[in-house]
Structure 1
Amino acid sequence: MKRILVTNDDGFESPGLHALVEALRPLGHVTVVAPTLEKSACGHSLTLTRPLRFIEIDDDFFKLDDGTPTDCVYLSKYALFDEERQPDLVVSGINKGANMGEDITYSGTASAAMEAVLQGIPGIAISQVCRSRCQNIDELGFELAKEAAYTICKKILEEGFPLGERRFLNVNVPPIQPKDCKGYKITKAGYRLYGNDAQLHRNPRGEEYYWLGLHPLEWVPDERELCDFEAIKADCVSITPVQLDLTSYEDIDRLRAWL
Protein backbone atom coordinates (compact mmCIF):
# COMPACT_ATOMS: atom_id res chain seq x y z
CA MET A 1 0.00 0.00 0.00
CA LYS A 2 1.25 3.48 -0.88
CA ARG A 3 2.12 5.77 2.04
CA ILE A 4 1.05 9.42 1.90
CA LEU A 5 2.11 12.09 4.39
CA VAL A 6 -0.28 15.04 4.63
CA THR A 7 0.42 18.39 6.27
CA ASN A 8 -0.58 22.05 5.92
CA ASP A 9 0.06 25.55 7.28
CA ASP A 10 -3.49 26.34 8.47
CA GLY A 11 -3.32 24.07 11.50
CA PHE A 12 -4.55 20.59 12.35
CA GLU A 13 -8.21 21.67 12.63
CA SER A 14 -8.39 23.23 9.17
CA PRO A 15 -11.32 22.04 7.02
CA GLY A 16 -8.98 22.06 4.02
CA LEU A 17 -6.67 19.56 5.69
CA HIS A 18 -9.54 17.21 6.49
CA ALA A 19 -10.93 17.56 2.95
CA LEU A 20 -7.50 16.58 1.58
CA VAL A 21 -7.33 13.51 3.82
CA GLU A 22 -10.78 12.46 2.65
CA ALA A 23 -9.73 12.85 -0.99
CA LEU A 24 -6.50 10.86 -0.64
CA ARG A 25 -7.58 7.95 1.56
CA PRO A 26 -8.70 5.83 -1.42
CA LEU A 27 -5.12 6.06 -2.77
CA GLY A 28 -3.20 4.62 0.18
CA HIS A 29 -2.36 4.84 3.86
CA VAL A 30 -2.55 8.48 4.99
CA THR A 31 -0.55 9.86 7.91
CA VAL A 32 -1.29 13.42 9.01
CA VAL A 33 1.17 15.67 10.83
CA ALA A 34 0.07 19.30 10.98
CA PRO A 35 0.98 22.40 13.02
CA THR A 36 -0.95 23.06 16.20
CA LEU A 37 -1.54 26.68 15.21
CA GLU A 38 -1.93 28.47 11.91
CA LYS A 39 1.48 29.07 10.31
CA SER A 40 0.50 30.96 7.18
CA ALA A 41 3.35 32.86 5.47
CA CYS A 42 5.97 31.26 7.74
CA GLY A 43 8.08 30.31 4.72
CA HIS A 44 10.60 27.47 4.77
CA SER A 45 11.35 27.77 8.48
CA LEU A 46 12.63 25.16 10.94
CA THR A 47 12.22 25.45 14.71
CA LEU A 48 15.68 25.48 16.31
CA THR A 49 15.17 27.34 19.61
CA ARG A 50 12.70 25.09 21.44
CA PRO A 51 11.75 21.40 21.62
CA LEU A 52 8.92 19.93 19.55
CA ARG A 53 6.63 17.02 20.31
CA PHE A 54 4.02 14.99 18.48
CA ILE A 55 0.55 14.97 20.05
CA GLU A 56 -1.66 12.15 18.77
CA ILE A 57 -5.17 13.30 17.92
CA ASP A 58 -6.35 10.08 16.27
CA ASP A 59 -4.86 7.03 14.59
CA ASP A 60 -2.07 8.29 12.29
CA PHE A 61 -3.15 11.87 12.94
CA PHE A 62 -0.77 14.11 14.89
CA LYS A 63 -0.34 17.78 15.64
CA LEU A 64 3.19 19.05 16.14
CA ASP A 65 3.28 21.34 19.14
CA ASP A 66 4.28 24.05 18.09
CA GLY A 67 5.92 23.33 14.76
CA THR A 68 6.01 24.73 11.27
CA PRO A 69 5.01 22.84 8.11
CA THR A 70 8.71 22.27 7.42
CA ASP A 71 9.14 20.81 10.92
CA CYS A 72 6.19 18.50 10.28
CA VAL A 73 7.78 16.98 7.18
CA TYR A 74 11.33 16.88 8.51
CA LEU A 75 10.48 15.25 11.84
CA SER A 76 7.90 12.87 10.40
CA LYS A 77 10.44 11.39 8.00
CA TYR A 78 12.77 10.43 10.84
CA ALA A 79 10.40 9.92 13.79
CA LEU A 80 7.32 8.27 12.27
CA PHE A 81 8.81 6.37 9.33
CA ASP A 82 11.76 4.02 9.19
CA GLU A 83 14.45 3.91 6.52
CA GLU A 84 12.83 1.10 4.56
CA ARG A 85 9.28 2.48 4.75
CA GLN A 86 9.33 6.16 3.84
CA PRO A 87 6.38 8.14 2.47
CA ASP A 88 5.78 7.69 -1.25
CA LEU A 89 4.35 11.19 -1.45
CA VAL A 90 3.96 14.34 0.67
CA VAL A 91 0.90 16.50 0.01
CA SER A 92 0.52 19.90 1.68
CA GLY A 93 -2.85 21.67 1.87
CA ILE A 94 -5.57 22.26 1.02
CA ASN A 95 -4.56 25.83 1.78
CA LYS A 96 -7.28 28.43 2.27
CA GLY A 97 -6.16 31.04 -0.23
CA ALA A 98 -3.85 31.31 -3.23
CA ASN A 99 -0.14 30.55 -3.36
CA MET A 100 0.87 31.96 -6.74
CA GLY A 101 3.75 33.97 -8.13
CA GLU A 102 6.35 35.10 -5.61
CA ASP A 103 3.93 34.26 -2.78
CA ILE A 104 5.41 30.78 -3.10
CA THR A 105 8.44 32.08 -1.16
CA TYR A 106 6.25 33.15 1.77
CA SER A 107 4.03 30.10 1.77
CA GLY A 108 4.14 27.55 4.55
CA THR A 109 2.06 25.28 2.34
CA ALA A 110 4.62 25.36 -0.46
CA SER A 111 7.48 25.08 2.03
CA ALA A 112 6.26 21.70 3.25
CA ALA A 113 6.52 20.44 -0.33
CA MET A 114 9.97 22.05 -0.57
CA GLU A 115 11.11 20.13 2.50
CA ALA A 116 9.71 16.90 1.08
CA VAL A 117 11.78 17.11 -2.09
CA LEU A 118 14.86 18.13 -0.09
CA GLN A 119 14.37 14.89 1.81
CA GLY A 120 14.05 12.91 -1.43
CA ILE A 121 10.25 12.49 -1.30
CA PRO A 122 7.93 13.71 -4.08
CA GLY A 123 6.02 16.77 -2.90
CA ILE A 124 2.88 18.67 -3.88
CA ALA A 125 1.39 21.88 -2.49
CA ILE A 126 -2.28 22.51 -3.22
CA SER A 127 -4.19 25.73 -2.54
CA GLN A 128 -7.80 26.85 -2.93
CA VAL A 129 -7.96 30.34 -4.42
CA CYS A 130 -10.73 32.61 -3.10
CA ARG A 131 -12.40 35.33 -5.14
CA SER A 132 -11.72 37.88 -2.42
CA ARG A 133 -10.62 37.99 1.19
CA CYS A 134 -14.33 38.09 2.09
CA GLN A 135 -15.33 34.93 0.25
CA ASN A 136 -16.66 32.34 2.67
CA ILE A 137 -14.66 29.14 2.20
CA ASP A 138 -17.52 27.21 3.83
CA GLU A 139 -19.79 28.27 0.95
CA LEU A 140 -17.15 27.63 -1.73
CA GLY A 141 -16.05 24.32 -0.27
CA PHE A 142 -13.17 22.17 -1.47
CA GLU A 143 -14.85 19.88 -3.99
CA LEU A 144 -12.76 20.92 -7.00
CA ALA A 145 -9.58 20.97 -4.89
CA LYS A 146 -10.33 17.45 -3.63
CA GLU A 147 -10.92 16.27 -7.19
CA ALA A 148 -7.67 17.86 -8.38
CA ALA A 149 -5.68 16.42 -5.47
CA TYR A 150 -7.04 12.93 -6.11
CA THR A 151 -6.43 13.09 -9.87
CA ILE A 152 -2.86 14.41 -9.64
CA CYS A 153 -1.79 12.19 -6.74
CA LYS A 154 -3.28 9.08 -8.35
CA LYS A 155 -1.29 9.72 -11.50
CA ILE A 156 1.92 10.22 -9.51
CA LEU A 157 1.46 7.10 -7.40
CA GLU A 158 0.68 4.98 -10.47
CA GLU A 159 3.11 6.45 -13.00
CA GLY A 160 5.84 8.12 -10.93
CA PHE A 161 6.73 11.71 -10.12
CA PRO A 162 7.16 13.74 -13.34
CA LEU A 163 9.90 16.07 -12.06
CA GLY A 164 13.60 15.74 -11.29
CA GLU A 165 15.35 16.13 -7.96
CA ARG A 166 14.51 19.06 -5.69
CA ARG A 167 11.46 20.08 -7.69
CA PHE A 168 7.84 20.07 -6.54
CA LEU A 169 4.39 20.75 -7.94
CA ASN A 170 2.54 23.87 -6.85
CA VAL A 171 -1.18 23.48 -7.55
CA ASN A 172 -3.75 26.28 -7.35
CA VAL A 173 -7.48 25.67 -7.75
CA PRO A 174 -9.92 28.31 -9.06
CA PRO A 175 -12.84 29.40 -6.82
CA ILE A 176 -15.50 27.47 -8.75
CA GLN A 177 -17.37 24.18 -8.61
CA PRO A 178 -16.08 21.10 -10.49
CA LYS A 179 -18.72 21.40 -13.24
CA ASP A 180 -17.42 24.87 -14.14
CA CYS A 181 -13.73 23.93 -14.35
CA LYS A 182 -12.16 24.39 -17.80
CA GLY A 183 -9.42 21.83 -17.25
CA TYR A 184 -5.81 21.67 -16.07
CA LYS A 185 -3.02 23.98 -17.27
CA ILE A 186 0.73 23.68 -16.84
CA THR A 187 1.90 27.16 -15.89
CA LYS A 188 4.84 29.23 -14.78
CA ALA A 189 4.83 31.25 -11.56
CA GLY A 190 3.48 34.70 -12.33
CA TYR A 191 4.99 38.13 -11.64
CA ARG A 192 3.09 39.21 -8.55
CA LEU A 193 2.43 42.88 -7.79
CA TYR A 194 2.69 44.01 -4.19
CA GLY A 195 1.59 47.08 -2.30
CA ASN A 196 1.41 48.20 1.31
CA ASP A 197 -1.31 46.82 3.53
CA ALA A 198 0.28 47.45 6.92
CA GLN A 199 -2.50 48.95 9.05
CA LEU A 200 -1.65 51.16 12.00
CA HIS A 201 -3.79 50.83 15.16
CA ARG A 202 -3.62 51.74 18.84
CA ASN A 203 -4.31 49.47 21.77
CA PRO A 204 -6.37 50.63 24.82
CA ARG A 205 -3.19 52.00 26.39
CA GLY A 206 -2.49 54.20 23.40
CA GLU A 207 0.44 52.15 22.16
CA GLU A 208 0.84 51.82 18.40
CA TYR A 209 0.87 48.48 16.64
CA TYR A 210 0.69 47.29 13.05
CA TRP A 211 -1.48 44.57 11.57
CA LEU A 212 -0.34 43.18 8.20
CA GLY A 213 -3.17 42.69 5.74
CA LEU A 214 -3.55 40.85 2.45
CA HIS A 215 -2.72 42.22 -0.98
CA PRO A 216 -5.17 41.84 -3.87
CA LEU A 217 -4.23 39.23 -6.49
CA GLU A 218 -2.64 41.50 -9.10
CA TRP A 219 0.06 40.49 -11.55
CA VAL A 220 1.93 41.45 -14.72
CA PRO A 221 0.60 39.50 -17.74
CA ASP A 222 3.13 37.61 -19.86
CA GLU A 223 2.12 36.82 -23.42
CA ARG A 224 4.99 34.34 -23.90
CA GLU A 225 3.82 31.71 -21.46
CA LEU A 226 0.72 31.08 -19.36
CA CYS A 227 1.19 31.94 -15.69
CA ASP A 228 -0.67 30.64 -12.64
CA PHE A 229 -2.72 33.85 -12.24
CA GLU A 230 -3.94 33.69 -15.84
CA ALA A 231 -4.92 30.01 -15.53
CA ILE A 232 -7.00 30.72 -12.43
CA LYS A 233 -8.63 33.69 -14.16
CA ALA A 234 -9.60 31.31 -16.98
CA ASP A 235 -11.21 28.89 -14.46
CA CYS A 236 -8.46 26.28 -14.88
CA VAL A 237 -6.49 24.36 -12.28
CA SER A 238 -2.91 25.65 -12.36
CA ILE A 239 0.00 23.20 -11.99
CA THR A 240 3.40 24.89 -11.70
CA PRO A 241 6.70 22.99 -11.53
CA VAL A 242 8.94 24.70 -8.97
CA GLN A 243 12.67 24.15 -8.50
CA LEU A 244 14.64 24.92 -5.35
CA ASP A 245 17.77 26.06 -7.20
CA LEU A 246 17.45 29.85 -6.96
CA THR A 247 20.56 30.62 -8.99
CA SER A 248 20.10 33.33 -11.62
CA TYR A 249 22.08 31.53 -14.32
CA GLU A 250 21.58 34.25 -16.93
CA ASP A 251 23.40 36.69 -14.65
CA ILE A 252 26.50 34.59 -13.91
CA ASP A 253 28.59 35.88 -16.84
CA ARG A 254 27.37 39.44 -16.27
CA LEU A 255 28.37 39.23 -12.62
CA ARG A 256 31.81 37.82 -13.47
CA ALA A 257 32.40 40.72 -15.85
CA TRP A 258 31.18 43.20 -13.24
CA LEU A 259 33.53 41.78 -10.61
Structure 2
Amino acid sequence: MMSRKQILITNDDGFESEGLMALVEALKPLGHVSVVAPTTEKSACGHSLTLTRPLNFVEVEKDFYKLDDGTPTDCVFLALNKVFMKEKRPDIVISGINIGANMGEDITYSGTASAAMEAVLQGIPGIAISQVYKDKGESIKEFGYELAQKSIVTLVEKIFANEFPLPPRKFLNINIPPVPTSECNGFKVTRAGNRLYTHHAEVHHNPRGKEYYWIGLPALGWMETQGHITDFEAINDGYVSITPVHLDMTSYDDIKSLDAWL
Protein backbone atom coordinates (compact mmCIF):
# COMPACT_ATOMS: atom_id res chain seq x y z
CA MET A 1 0.00 0.00 0.00
CA MET A 2 1.38 3.40 -1.03
CA SER A 3 1.82 5.99 1.72
CA ARG A 4 -0.08 9.26 1.48
CA LYS A 5 1.66 12.18 -0.16
CA GLN A 6 3.16 14.71 2.24
CA ILE A 7 2.19 18.33 1.52
CA LEU A 8 3.79 21.30 3.30
CA ILE A 9 1.87 24.58 3.13
CA THR A 10 3.04 28.07 4.07
CA ASN A 11 2.34 31.67 3.07
CA ASP A 12 3.38 35.27 3.67
CA ASP A 13 0.01 36.66 4.81
CA GLY A 14 0.17 35.00 8.21
CA PHE A 15 -1.30 31.89 9.79
CA GLU A 16 -4.84 33.32 10.04
CA SER A 17 -5.13 34.24 6.36
CA GLU A 18 -8.32 33.23 4.55
CA GLY A 19 -6.20 32.32 1.52
CA LEU A 20 -4.13 29.90 3.60
CA MET A 21 -7.26 28.25 4.98
CA ALA A 22 -8.70 27.91 1.49
CA LEU A 23 -5.50 26.20 0.31
CA VAL A 24 -5.53 23.77 3.24
CA GLU A 25 -9.17 22.92 2.58
CA ALA A 26 -8.50 22.27 -1.10
CA LEU A 27 -5.46 20.04 -0.60
CA LYS A 28 -6.47 17.91 2.39
CA PRO A 29 -8.13 15.28 0.17
CA LEU A 30 -4.88 14.87 -1.83
CA GLY A 31 -2.49 13.97 0.98
CA HIS A 32 -1.29 14.61 4.52
CA VAL A 33 -1.17 18.38 4.96
CA SER A 34 1.20 20.10 7.38
CA VAL A 35 1.19 23.88 7.83
CA VAL A 36 4.00 26.11 9.04
CA ALA A 37 3.13 29.77 8.51
CA PRO A 38 4.35 33.14 9.82
CA THR A 39 2.66 34.56 12.89
CA THR A 40 2.20 37.94 11.19
CA GLU A 41 2.02 39.20 7.63
CA LYS A 42 5.40 39.10 5.90
CA SER A 43 4.49 40.47 2.47
CA ALA A 44 7.44 41.69 0.36
CA CYS A 45 10.00 40.16 2.74
CA GLY A 46 11.74 38.41 -0.15
CA HIS A 47 13.91 35.33 0.31
CA SER A 48 15.02 36.31 3.81
CA LEU A 49 16.17 34.03 6.61
CA THR A 50 16.15 35.13 10.26
CA LEU A 51 19.73 34.83 11.51
CA THR A 52 19.91 37.35 14.37
CA ARG A 53 17.41 35.85 16.84
CA PRO A 54 15.89 32.48 17.75
CA LEU A 55 12.49 31.44 16.39
CA ASN A 56 9.75 29.49 18.16
CA PHE A 57 7.17 27.07 16.80
CA VAL A 58 3.71 27.59 18.30
CA GLU A 59 1.30 24.71 17.77
CA VAL A 60 -2.09 26.03 16.68
CA GLU A 61 -3.57 22.57 16.20
CA LYS A 62 -2.37 19.15 15.06
CA ASP A 63 0.00 19.50 12.06
CA PHE A 64 -0.49 23.29 12.07
CA TYR A 65 2.20 25.61 13.44
CA LYS A 66 2.83 29.32 13.41
CA LEU A 67 6.46 30.41 13.46
CA ASP A 68 6.80 33.32 15.85
CA ASP A 69 7.93 36.32 13.75
CA GLY A 70 9.41 34.01 11.10
CA THR A 71 9.51 34.60 7.35
CA PRO A 72 8.08 32.21 4.74
CA THR A 73 11.63 31.06 4.00
CA ASP A 74 12.17 30.39 7.71
CA CYS A 75 8.95 28.36 7.72
CA VAL A 76 10.12 26.02 4.96
CA PHE A 77 13.69 25.80 6.22
CA LEU A 78 12.75 25.01 9.81
CA ALA A 79 9.80 22.76 8.93
CA LEU A 80 12.36 20.35 7.49
CA ASN A 81 13.91 20.17 10.97
CA LYS A 82 10.80 20.26 13.17
CA VAL A 83 7.99 18.66 11.18
CA PHE A 84 9.90 16.43 8.79
CA MET A 85 13.04 14.34 8.94
CA LYS A 86 15.51 13.23 6.28
CA GLU A 87 13.62 10.01 5.69
CA LYS A 88 10.26 11.82 5.62
CA ARG A 89 10.42 14.95 3.54
CA PRO A 90 7.42 16.65 1.95
CA ASP A 91 6.58 15.58 -1.59
CA ILE A 92 5.68 19.18 -2.43
CA VAL A 93 5.69 22.64 -0.85
CA ILE A 94 2.88 25.02 -1.77
CA SER A 95 2.91 28.66 -0.72
CA GLY A 96 -0.29 30.73 -0.68
CA ILE A 97 -3.00 31.38 -1.53
CA ASN A 98 -1.53 34.88 -1.48
CA ILE A 99 -3.98 37.76 -1.28
CA GLY A 100 -2.84 39.81 -4.26
CA ALA A 101 -0.76 39.33 -7.40
CA ASN A 102 2.84 38.12 -7.58
CA MET A 103 3.72 38.84 -11.20
CA GLY A 104 6.70 40.22 -13.10
CA GLU A 105 9.61 41.47 -11.02
CA ASP A 106 7.40 41.40 -7.93
CA ILE A 107 8.54 37.78 -7.68
CA THR A 108 11.82 39.12 -6.29
CA TYR A 109 10.02 40.90 -3.45
CA SER A 110 7.50 38.16 -2.77
CA GLY A 111 7.57 36.14 0.41
CA THR A 112 5.07 33.79 -1.22
CA ALA A 113 7.39 33.07 -4.13
CA SER A 114 10.42 32.89 -1.83
CA ALA A 115 8.94 29.98 0.10
CA ALA A 116 8.74 28.06 -3.18
CA MET A 117 12.33 29.13 -3.92
CA GLU A 118 13.47 27.67 -0.62
CA ALA A 119 11.65 24.43 -1.36
CA VAL A 120 13.44 23.88 -4.66
CA LEU A 121 16.78 24.83 -3.10
CA GLN A 122 16.13 21.98 -0.65
CA GLY A 123 15.37 19.61 -3.55
CA ILE A 124 11.58 19.64 -3.05
CA PRO A 125 9.08 20.66 -5.76
CA GLY A 126 7.66 24.11 -5.04
CA ILE A 127 4.61 26.10 -6.12
CA ALA A 128 3.63 29.66 -5.29
CA ILE A 129 -0.03 30.57 -5.88
CA SER A 130 -1.55 34.04 -5.69
CA GLN A 131 -5.06 35.41 -6.11
CA VAL A 132 -5.04 38.62 -8.13
CA TYR A 133 -7.72 41.05 -7.00
CA LYS A 134 -9.25 44.29 -8.21
CA ASP A 135 -11.27 47.07 -6.62
CA LYS A 136 -9.23 46.95 -3.40
CA GLY A 137 -10.12 43.32 -2.76
CA GLU A 138 -13.82 43.50 -3.59
CA SER A 139 -13.33 40.79 -6.25
CA ILE A 140 -12.16 38.34 -3.56
CA LYS A 141 -15.22 39.13 -1.46
CA GLU A 142 -17.39 38.47 -4.51
CA PHE A 143 -15.72 35.39 -6.02
CA GLY A 144 -13.76 33.95 -3.08
CA TYR A 145 -11.00 31.39 -3.71
CA GLU A 146 -13.00 28.80 -5.64
CA LEU A 147 -11.04 29.21 -8.88
CA ALA A 148 -7.70 29.15 -7.03
CA GLN A 149 -8.72 26.00 -5.14
CA LYS A 150 -9.90 24.24 -8.28
CA SER A 151 -6.74 25.23 -10.17
CA ILE A 152 -4.27 24.07 -7.52
CA VAL A 153 -6.08 20.75 -7.07
CA THR A 154 -5.93 20.12 -10.82
CA LEU A 155 -2.20 20.83 -10.94
CA VAL A 156 -1.24 18.91 -7.79
CA GLU A 157 -3.25 15.88 -8.91
CA LYS A 158 -1.38 15.98 -12.22
CA ILE A 159 1.96 16.25 -10.43
CA PHE A 160 1.19 13.38 -8.07
CA ALA A 161 -0.03 11.19 -10.96
CA ASN A 162 3.11 11.89 -13.01
CA GLU A 163 5.97 14.06 -11.80
CA PHE A 164 6.87 17.69 -11.22
CA PRO A 165 7.19 19.27 -14.68
CA LEU A 166 10.39 21.24 -14.00
CA PRO A 167 14.01 20.24 -13.38
CA PRO A 168 15.78 21.00 -10.06
CA ARG A 169 15.95 24.59 -8.75
CA LYS A 170 12.91 25.72 -10.69
CA PHE A 171 9.42 26.38 -9.33
CA LEU A 172 5.95 27.23 -10.61
CA ASN A 173 4.57 30.71 -9.97
CA ILE A 174 0.78 30.69 -10.40
CA ASN A 175 -1.51 33.71 -10.53
CA ILE A 176 -5.30 33.40 -10.52
CA PRO A 177 -7.44 35.96 -12.40
CA PRO A 178 -10.12 37.90 -10.47
CA VAL A 179 -13.05 36.24 -12.24
CA PRO A 180 -15.63 33.61 -11.25
CA THR A 181 -14.71 30.02 -12.07
CA SER A 182 -17.25 29.89 -14.90
CA GLU A 183 -15.55 32.80 -16.70
CA CYS A 184 -11.98 31.49 -16.51
CA ASN A 185 -10.51 30.68 -19.93
CA GLY A 186 -8.19 27.93 -18.66
CA PHE A 187 -4.46 27.74 -18.04
CA LYS A 188 -1.81 29.71 -19.89
CA VAL A 189 1.96 29.14 -19.62
CA THR A 190 3.56 32.57 -19.44
CA ARG A 191 6.77 34.44 -18.92
CA ALA A 192 7.12 37.04 -16.18
CA GLY A 193 6.17 40.48 -17.43
CA ASN A 194 7.85 43.80 -16.69
CA ARG A 195 6.28 46.05 -14.09
CA LEU A 196 6.22 49.82 -14.27
CA TYR A 197 7.47 50.85 -10.84
CA THR A 198 7.08 54.06 -8.89
CA HIS A 199 8.60 55.05 -5.57
CA HIS A 200 5.48 56.24 -3.80
CA ALA A 201 5.79 56.76 -0.06
CA GLU A 202 3.84 58.91 2.36
CA VAL A 203 5.53 61.09 4.93
CA HIS A 204 3.85 61.68 8.28
CA HIS A 205 4.72 62.91 11.76
CA ASN A 206 4.02 61.17 15.03
CA PRO A 207 2.46 63.04 18.02
CA ARG A 208 5.95 64.13 19.12
CA GLY A 209 6.71 65.59 15.71
CA LYS A 210 9.11 62.86 14.60
CA GLU A 211 9.00 62.26 10.86
CA TYR A 212 8.31 58.80 9.48
CA TYR A 213 7.67 57.24 6.06
CA TRP A 214 5.16 54.62 4.96
CA ILE A 215 5.81 52.88 1.64
CA GLY A 216 2.72 52.93 -0.55
CA LEU A 217 1.20 50.28 -2.79
CA PRO A 218 2.31 50.91 -6.41
CA ALA A 219 -0.24 50.88 -9.21
CA LEU A 220 -0.42 47.64 -11.23
CA GLY A 221 1.22 49.04 -14.38
CA TRP A 222 3.02 46.98 -17.03
CA MET A 223 5.25 47.52 -20.05
CA GLU A 224 3.92 46.42 -23.41
CA THR A 225 5.55 43.20 -24.58
CA GLN A 226 6.05 41.30 -27.80
CA GLY A 227 6.34 37.56 -28.31
CA HIS A 228 5.39 35.04 -25.61
CA ILE A 229 2.43 36.10 -23.49
CA THR A 230 3.24 37.46 -20.04
CA ASP A 231 1.62 36.72 -16.70
CA PHE A 232 -0.07 40.13 -16.71
CA GLU A 233 -1.56 39.63 -20.17
CA ALA A 234 -2.85 36.17 -19.25
CA ILE A 235 -4.54 37.50 -16.11
CA ASN A 236 -6.00 40.39 -18.07
CA ASP A 237 -7.47 37.90 -20.56
CA GLY A 238 -9.02 35.73 -17.84
CA TYR A 239 -6.47 32.88 -17.81
CA VAL A 240 -4.71 31.23 -14.89
CA SER A 241 -1.06 32.19 -15.40
CA ILE A 242 1.62 29.54 -14.82
CA THR A 243 5.17 30.86 -15.00
CA PRO A 244 8.21 28.57 -14.68
CA VAL A 245 10.83 30.38 -12.58
CA HIS A 246 14.48 29.43 -12.19
CA LEU A 247 16.89 30.57 -9.53
CA ASP A 248 19.91 30.97 -11.82
CA MET A 249 19.89 34.75 -12.31
CA THR A 250 22.84 34.80 -14.73
CA SER A 251 22.22 36.92 -17.82
CA TYR A 252 23.65 34.45 -20.33
CA ASP A 253 22.93 36.71 -23.32
CA ASP A 254 25.35 39.30 -21.94
CA ILE A 255 28.36 37.10 -21.14
CA LYS A 256 30.07 37.55 -24.51
CA SER A 257 29.44 41.31 -24.66
CA LEU A 258 30.68 41.70 -21.10
CA ASP A 259 33.84 39.74 -21.95
CA ALA A 260 34.41 42.05 -24.92
CA TRP A 261 33.78 45.12 -22.73
CA LEU A 262 36.44 43.95 -20.28
Bin for the TM-score computed over the shorter chain:
over 0.9
Name 1:151's counterpart in structure 2. 154
Matched, 1:3 2:3: no
User: Counterpart of 1:61 in structure 2: which amino acid?
Assistant: F
The CA distance in 2 between the partners of 1:140 and 1:130, in whole Å, is 10
What is the SS of the residue equivalent to 1:133? helix
CA deviation string 1:175-205 (max 9, x = no partner): 1110110110000000111012211112222
Task: Give the 3-state SS of the residue equivalent to 2:217 in structure 1.
Answer: coil
Q: Say whether residues 1:74 and 2:77 are aligned partners.
A: yes
Aligned residues: 259
Q: 1:101 aligns with which of 93, 101, 104?
A: 104
RMSD: 1.0
Secondary structure of the 1:172 match is strand
One of 28, 34, 38 as aligned partner of 1:31: 34
Secondary structure in 1 aligned to 2:245?
strand
Q: Deviations over 1:80-109 (max 9, x none)?
A: 111111100000000000000000000000
Are 2:87 and 1:84 equivalent residues in the alignment? Answer: yes
Of residues 201, 205, 210, the one that matches 1:207 is: 210
Cα deviation for residue 132 of structure 1 reads: 3.6
Q: Distance in 1 between matches of 2:112 and 2:139?
A: 20
In structure 1, distance between residues paired with 2:134 and 2:235: 10
TM-score by length of 1: 0.98
Q: Read off the aligned partner of 2:243 and give its amino acid letter.
A: T
Counterpart residue identity of residue 42, structure 1: C
Amino acid at match of 2:226: E
Which residue of the other structure, out of 238, 241, 253, is the alignment partner of 1:238? 241
Partner of 2:17: 14
SS in 1 for 2:136: coil
- Contact preservation (8 Å) 2:139, 2:178: no
* Higher mean displacement: 202-211 or 66-75: 202-211
| Superposition deviation, residue 136 in structure 1 | 5.8
Give, in angstroms, the shift of residue 217 of structure 1: 1.2
Contact 2:140 2:178 in 1 (8 A): no
Q: Unpaired segments of 5 or more residues in structure 2?
A: none
Choose from 156, 162, 167 the match for 1:164: 167
CA distance in 2 between partners of 1:257 and 1:132 (Å): 49
The 10-residue stretch of structure 1 (130-139 or 65-74) with the greater mean CA deviation from structure 2: 130-139
Q: TM-score, normalised by structure 2?
A: 0.97
Q: CA deviation at 1:51?
A: 0.3
Question: Any gaps of 5 or more consecutive residues in structure 1?
Answer: none
CA separation in 2, counterparts of 1:147 and 1:122? 19
